[in-house]
Structure formats: C-alpha cells, structure tokens
Amino acid sequence: MSMWKNLVALVRGTAHETGQSIVDAKALTILDQQIRDAGSLQAKARDDLATLTAKRRMMEKELEGLTSQREKYESSARAAMARGDMDLAREVAQRLATIEQEQSTKTPQIADMRAAEDKIRGIIKTGDGKIDALRREVDVVRANESVQKAQASVASSYGGATASLGSAADSLARLKERQAIREEKFKAQAELEDMRTGADLDEKLKAAGLLPGNSSADDILARLSQPKDAPRLSDGTRDGGTIGRD
C-alpha cells in the first residue's frame, strides 16, 4: 500500500513538474493572454457602465417629467378648489399622490445608480492602471528575455570559437612537434651516412688543417714568401729553414 502511495505521489509530482516547466516556458504567452482577457473584462465593464448611465439618465428624464406633471396638477387642483369643484380637486389630488409616490421611488434609485456608476468608474480606472503596469512589466521582461537570449547565443558562439581556436592551437603544436622530430631524423640520417662514407672524418681533418688542399690564405702567403728552390714539405709548403754553408 505504501509503495502504491509513493507511485501515485511520483506520478502527481512528475505531472506537476511537467506542467510547471510548460507554464514557465510559455510564461510570456500566458501573461499576454491574461492581459487580453483582463482587457476584455474591462471593455465589458465599460459597456455595463454605459448601460447603467443610460438607464439612469432615462430615469432622470422620467423624474423631470413627473416634476412637470406635479406642478401642472397642483395648479389644476388649486383652480378646482377655487371654483368649489371639490370632486375634481380630489381627483387631481389622487393623481398628485401617485406622482409623488413615483418620485419618492425614483429619486433614491437615481442616487444609487449614480453611486454605482462612480464605484464602477473607480474599479475600471484601477483595473486600467494595473493592466497598463502589467503590460509595461511584460515589455521589460520580454526585452530582457531577448537580450539574455542574444547574450546566450553570443556566449555559446564565443565558447564554440574558443574551443575551435584551442583545438587549432593543439593541432598546430602537434604539427610543429612532428616537424621537429622529422628534422632531427633527417640530421641523424645525414650523420649516419657521413660516418658510413668517412665524410665526418674528412670534416674533422679539414677543420684541423691536416687535409691536403686545405690551406688557408695565411698558409698560401707564407709559402709564396719562401724562395722557389726551397724544399716542399709534405703539406705542399716550402721549408723555410737556413741551409748551412761550407
């Protein structure tokens, strides 16, 4: 039983989270619709106010008509009484009583209607203010949402570009490493070839000045300064020693 309750709670919780995520994702759309609904209710309230105002004005006109009738019948009743026609005067008085009763009924109704109009106007004004404020807030939120989406897009693009640059730098480093290894390999192969052919030994002899045909400019000048009949040494230079005389 406990497991079943947990499963039911899990399903309800998952449904709530799913519904909440949908609501959050469409928050601006929902707000826009709620503002439109509130605007429709405000429009209906204005229409109801206009209807109430029209009825109140009609009732005021009826009251004005009753007032005119009352003044007319009061004059008529006085005239009948002045002529001694009490029956006619009574009949007019009964009509006056009906008019006064209607006046006493309509006057407070008109006052109540005016009070209701003022109350409805206040409610409509307050509602309009709230709707306008909500519209402004929604506009700000929508603008912020657009800016944040743009920033997220830029950040995502920058992150991708940074990753691409990092990958390119790694590739370049690996390429340089391969080139350096290949260069050292070429050098090692050349050294091995020189050792095989003796070229490295010739280079060492040449550097030491022991290889024939490797005379420097000073060696050549020294040789040319010697007498022509001076004996040549093994390296091609003449012997500069003094020959003893008998």
> Exposure of 92 by Cβ count < 10 A (0-12 exposed, 13-18 middle, 19+ buried)?
buried
Domains of the chain by residue range: 2-174
CATH class of segment(s) 2-174: mainly alpha
> Exposure of 144 by Cβ count < 10 A (0-12 exposed, 13-18 middle, 19+ buried)?
exposed
**pLDDT tens track for 156-215:** 665 555 566 667 677 777 778 888 888 888 777 777 766 666 666 666 666 666 555 555
Contact 32, 138 (CB under 8 A): yes
pTM higher than 0.85, yes or no?
Answer: no
- Collect all residues with Cβ–Cβ distance below 8 Å to 35 and sequence separation of at least 6: 131, 134, 135, 138
Asked if residue 129 has pLDDT above 80, the reply is yes
pLDDT at 17: 55
